Structure 1
């Protein structure tokens, strides 16, 4: 399906244009996103002067946006994780919202999982670890609609072209031997495809037709049906529409793969810190479950809160699960079953800014789009 986007010439781009493009591209498909995303501050009709991409909202980050004249901020972490009953300077979220409104800044929370594009933060980590034979931990499921209709052979080509231009995909076609029966005494209006008055008698009218079956993406369903009703040669149009849930290959949440060679657990920990450059990250650390002598070969990666995926990883009997955000009880549950490595929420998301930048740069080449320089990580570790 082609995604419509504004022309990036001299046309002013509004905040709603950017939001529309992002949400069409992602299709809001990440079922494992814990927080809602969307525009939380700002007027969607405002013209974008510049975009600043960040992981978290802080007052220092807002200062950077003001300095760089970026009035649209895209953040990965929600500014509001709980209901805010009053906007006052006493709370962190209140101070940020007041400052954003005072300086006409719009804030859009884009916390969806980019793994569903087939090139998300989980893939980035998996590539650093040189994992092979990669596939999702949980495959993406997509609801399509199966449209079946019947058409005279001479009208087949035109109808296929019309529906495909509206977003339908040809699923199958072929002569079905469908019979159109005429009851005794029925009368038909003459049309261009041979349906005429049968008069009286006991004979049946036999009409050779082609059965056409199309698969329709959900956003195109209503448009395709309208085109069918307009372009079909019959006045009473035979068609059937049913929903079908399909699995999208190689797209979904997280990544599982295999290492090029097996590694003992203690050496694998060093391998992770080196490959992900965690040792060079300020205040970075690695937490893990009890290690065993079992060599590490199969690895699962989820660059986000992995609490909802732990059971899937245990079912797949992975040797390692690299993620963040698990609860203490989940470490107990996994102990002895899978080596869990918590690399920290901030480190897990470091590739997000680059991914969003690449996504937007393809369509909006006349807008300043920047990755923030402000370090927003609020967590510091003491390393002995």
Structure 2
């Protein structure tokens, strides 16, 4: 059995290395929550002795980090709801900050559900509900360049291989017909490959279209000009936005079978093991299409309403939004905790791919402060 070699030496990994890796893989600008990500306390230049992953910060959680020699704590929920005017041990945030500083702990808020990686909290909820034919509520878009060039067909293979080796992705390859005047002195370099007689002749060229990532542009263009067989290279380069691998925020899908609204709510509670949920009034149509967002979905509600989805499962909704959705969709708030289903495990898996020689733990401390009385 072989294991992947770590990119970083375990004695050389700093907290900033881990943060940079996370932020390179997760595009926070695509998130729809008001929460922000970032370091709230600590020294990012410190060497990592261990990482503890949690959903919330509490003083008992900090004790767990100290006990396990984890000096870097990654949490999903910020504990600073407003700017602090004082830091005292009597307040919740103050007590956490003082203890973190005392034990030289760094706290990093990672407010994302990893949906755009194709393995977020929304995906886990959709899996539990057995939704199929899923696609994002808001697809992830990425700015790229579309590069189109032309050359003689027999040289196309070499150019394709050369550009793909430096990061380009071949989108299309097709033959085009070019009309050439045999008397023209401004003709194509292709004439050296296909000599023509006087008069109008028709030649074939390969038209290649590549998608070029932003960070590879210069390298790809240099390779194109170096490898292309023509002395004067004809190409077109335009900036475009593309949808990336059916990824994005939230998920839309269909239930295995239609369910009456009351049975659908019981289905959610059973599948997600919930003690409670909140919802809009019942309405007289069965539930088939379902939208899920594993986070505060208030910013996505209008998208769901526009798509006329039967039900929307999320949390963080305002009272006015229940009024807005009433009669248009079955709006279901399953609570903050439930929408972060499996998030600690997802973050651990993401980090373990790159830092497999560092101790990375999921917290055992129960941090949820909300409890409910069940009948």
TM-score range, shorter chain: 0.7 to 0.9
Cα distance between partner residues in 2 of 1:17 and 1:229: 36
Kindly report the root-mean-square deviation, in angstroms, between the aligned alpha carbons of the 2 structures.
3.5
Cα distance between partner residues in 2 of 1:90 and 1:225: 60
Aligned partner of residue 345 in structure 1, secondary structure: coil
Aligned partner of residue 327 in structure 2, secondary structure: coil
Cα distance between partner residues in 2 of 1:237 and 1:105: 56
- CA, structure 1 residues 135+154, in 2 after alignment: closer, same or farther (shift >3 Å)? closer
The C-alpha deviation readout for 1:315-339, integer Å capped at 9, x for no partner, is 2222211110000000011111111
- CA, structure 1 residues 158+97, in 2 after alignment: closer, same or farther (shift >3 Å)? farther
2:266 equivalent in structure 1: 270
Determine whether 1:297 maps to 2:288.
Answer: yes
Matches within 5 A, 1:276-291: 276-279=272-275, 285-291=276-282
1:55 equivalent in structure 2: 55
Matches within 5 A, 1:118-197: 118-149=118-149, 159-173=159-173
Cα distance between partner residues in 2 of 1:381 and 1:108: 29
Determine whether 1:36 maps to 2:32.
Answer: no
TM-score relative to the length of structure 2: 0.83
1:246 equivalent in structure 2: 242
TM superposition shift of 1:103: 1.5
Conservation of the 8 A alpha-carbon contact between 2:140 and 2:249: yes
Conservation of the 8 A alpha-carbon contact between 2:169 and 2:212: yes
Aligned partner of residue 12 in structure 1, secondary structure: coil
The C-alpha deviation readout for 1:48-76, integer Å capped at 9, x for no partner, is 11111111112221111111111111111
TM superposition shift of 1:28: 3.6
Aligned partner of residue 108 in structure 1, secondary structure: strand
2:197 equivalent in structure 1: none
TM superposition shift of 1:257: 1.7
Conservation of the 8 A alpha-carbon contact between 2:6 and 2:357: no
TM superposition shift of 1:81: 4.0
- CA, structure 1 residues 222+71, in 2 after alignment: closer, same or farther (shift >3 Å)? farther
- CA, structure 1 residues 27+333, in 2 after alignment: closer, same or farther (shift >3 Å)? closer
2:97 equivalent in structure 1: 97
Determine whether 1:371 maps to 2:362.
Answer: yes
Cα distance between partner residues in 2 of 1:334 and 1:233: 60
Cα distance between partner residues in 2 of 1:340 and 1:295: 14
TM superposition shift of 1:79: 3.5
The C-alpha deviation readout for 1:282-309, integer Å capped at 9, x for no partner, is xxx2111111343222221111111011
Conservation of the 8 A alpha-carbon contact between 1:6 and 1:17: no
Cα distance between partner residues in 2 of 1:250 and 1:29: 18
2:17 equivalent in structure 1: 17
Determine whether 1:346 maps to 2:342.
Answer: no
Tell me which moved more, 342-351 or 84-93.
84-93
How many residues were matched structurally?
A: 364
For structure 1, the residue ranges without an aligned partner over 5 or more in a row are 187-192, 196-206, 280-284
Aligned partner of residue 145 in structure 1, secondary structure: strand
TM superposition shift of 1:239: 4.5
- CA, structure 1 residues 271+152, in 2 after alignment: closer, same or farther (shift >3 Å)? closer
- CA, structure 1 residues 264+212, in 2 after alignment: closer, same or farther (shift >3 Å)? closer
Cα distance between partner residues in 2 of 1:223 and 1:61: 47
Cα distance between partner residues in 2 of 1:102 and 1:178: 74
Cα distance between partner residues in 2 of 1:216 and 1:351: 34
Cα distance between partner residues in 2 of 1:334 and 1:365: 46
For structure 2, the residue ranges without an aligned partner over 5 or more in a row are 192-202
TM-score relative to the length of structure 1: 0.81
- CA, structure 1 residues 110+56, in 2 after alignment: closer, same or farther (shift >3 Å)? same
2:347 equivalent in structure 1: 356
TM superposition shift of 1:276: 0.6
TM superposition shift of 1:7: 2.1
TM superposition shift of 1:162: 3.8
- CA, structure 1 residues 314+367, in 2 after alignment: closer, same or farther (shift >3 Å)? same
1:255 equivalent in structure 2: 251
Determine whether 1:220 maps to 2:211.
Answer: no
TM superposition shift of 1:377: 1.7
